[in-house]
Amino acid sequence: MTFERDPEQHRQFLADFYQRTGHDYARFNYLGEWHSHPTVAALPSYRDISSMQEIVSDPAVNAPFAVLMIARRRFWRGLELSATVFRPAELPCPALLFPLQPSNGGHAFEQLQSRRDHLR
């Protein structure tokens, strides 16, 4: 199974979004894309790399960087995740992902726990 991006549809969506939000790029900006690899490793394929390089190299997109996140469900063992950073004229590089835990998340972890408890 493959996913085909529709750059024109994405450009139009972003143009409409920025129009609605007053072109406030400091508050709203394009971070990147995500998808899953249900049956293979959660790593960018050659096609993923090519697509993301096209995005950050396109002057019409005007993105100084983009992040591609890929997830794969590991059934009883949680999720396998990767995040890769793409910048114009640079090789892609992995982004470090840190799990939210009391030891390194502190207050944010407590807030998440509180929100989860509220949903129960």
Asked whether residue 2 is assigned to any structural domain, the reply reads no
Q: What is the rounded CA–CA span in Å between residue 68 and residue 49? A: 9
Provide the pLDDT for residue 99: 67
What is the three-class DSSP state of 52?
helix
pLDDT of residue 14: 75
Q: What pLDDT is attached to residue 90?
A: 93
Number of domains in the chain: 1
Q: How far is CA 74 from CA 79, 80, 117, in A?
A: 5, 6, 25
- CA–CA dist 105, 42 (Å, integer): 24
Residues 6+ apart with CB under 8 A from 6: none
Cα Rg for the chain, rounded, in angstroms?
A: 17
Any domain includes 1: no
SS3 53: helix
pLDDT of residue 87: 92
Q: Confirm whether 95 is domain-assigned.
A: yes
pLDDT at 55: 85
Task: Give the pLDDT of residue 26.
Answer: 65
Structural domain of 107: 7-119
* Measured distance CA(115)–CA(100) in Å, rounded: 14
Q: Cα–Cα distance between 12 and 72 in angstroms, integer?
A: 29
Tens of pLDDT along the chain (120 residues) come to 556 667 677 778 778 877 888 877 667 666 667 777 888 888 999 989 998 898 889 887 777 888 988 888 887 778 888 899 999 999 999 988 776 666 555 666 677 677 777 776
